[in-house]
Structure 1
Amino acid sequence: MTAFHALRVSRHALLNRAHMLLYSLAILALLRHRLSCLLSSSRFLPLLLADLVLAFMWVACQASRWRPVRRHEFPDRLLREVDPAAFPALDVFICTADPHREPPISVVSTALSAMAFDYPPDRLSIYVSDDGGSAVTLFAFMEASRFARYWLPFCKENGLLDRSPEAFFRSNIGGDSDKMKDSKDKHDDRDSCLVQMMYESMKAKVEGAMERGYVGNDVIFDAEERELFEKWKGFARHDHPSVIQVIFSFMSQSLHTTIAIWILNNSSY
């Protein structure tokens, strides 16, 4: 049977056990002393109870020190032995409530990062709960749904480690160092610049809507999107109905699957 991890007992285990033995003897000696004092005077009862509680707390913390181990995982072996279709379904919940304290562009970057997990995409679902009922947050995810069609394949093709576009473009590192640095293909550089331009364009639109405090008709071009925003009219942060809306469903030949993002607006906190 293939092992998916290697386990090694820490070399400090024997020292830990010796210390535990000596400390246990000291605790027993102290408790014996308290009991002998209690026979002569009841005023030692609170001290005995306190020592018993502290002794119990110490014993309860020793389990991890009895046999400390170090593990080394081999995730590549998992893909060789297990069919990705047999992986458990993974649901990721991202919660937000106030677009002023939690900028929508940051929430979007978190969702895009989760969508780009190195995990079978057909087993992955992303749920975004917006308790604030913000139309700007909705608009941010509508823009992100367009950007994701380019960002997700870009992450997969370049083996990015920083899958959050905000973190990736800020650090200019983000990917597998060998793969990204050794590549001399100018087409890859053009792709990176193009994706960055698309991200900056999306970011400017979202931050512009945030500054205005509303989503204007100048940034909504689709009749279906206008109909969607009609549901958000009249929403107040503490008073709005529950709405569930599928924002993004994506399928490509490189991913062979569909990924969905949901916006959940809840009337309760």
Structure 2
Amino acid sequence: FLSNKLGSQQLKSKTTVLKLIPSNNFVDIVIEEGVGKIKTIRSRFAVVAAPKFVAKRLIQGIGSNQQKAMDSIEYRSYIVANVILKKNVSSVGYDLYCLSGKKPEDPTALRPSAMGFSDMIFADWAQYEKSSPKVLTCYKPFPYQGARQYLLNPFAHDKHRDNLLLDLKNYYQSIGLSQNDIAAVRMTLWGHAVPLCQAGLASSKTLELASKPIGNIYFANQDNLVSPCYETAEQSALEAAQRIIHRIQKR
């Protein structure tokens, strides 16, 4: 839809944003197109849809109070793995949780969970199993501070993939799978950037300050409201768009 409406020259793929520099009436956006090809785009407005822990490293000129507000938001990591199968299997449900009948110990950085994944989604469930081949989406949460550094270890990918495939064997019979039915595993080691709401945070002024526009830069992310869901991401995007439209109409 966007490519049809905006044209092929407006949406840039394989482009990395390096820096955003706010000014009085515009924003300079420094990007890298390809390897070593640096370019600056001057825009009237910019909407930063990245989480605050990324945004605060891209935007120049963030005030100290707003920086502290951004720093106060904590996040939790997820691994998201798409297990691609060579054949279709019937969905036995939408989201299956891997429960063993007893409460697992709370994982920590020094004592992580031994489970390969916590739950599994049949990716084509909403399409009445019309897609082919079947994809199983598996999730593994890391519900403690500081997990991201362990996911960046060069050996983390293979370790977590192997643990996932080992645990998946427990469900072969109920799903109707064998090891030969698995074509590939595609993993995102960071996955969801899940903002963590803490006591008193949502009712304080911290979130409002952290998401306050900087010049002509606006924020649109679920951490504007510290609630990890589609609805808050959409609401933040609509509010950013409405603010920009209001600014344009005032001119």
TM over 0.5: no
So what's the TM-score if we normalise by structure 2?
0.18
Greater relative contact order (CA < 8 Å, ≥ 6 in sequence) = 2
Pair member with larger Rg: 1
Question: 1 or 2, which has the higher strand percentage?
Answer: 2
So what's the TM-score if we normalise by structure 1?
0.18
Question: 1 or 2, which has the higher helix percentage?
Answer: 1
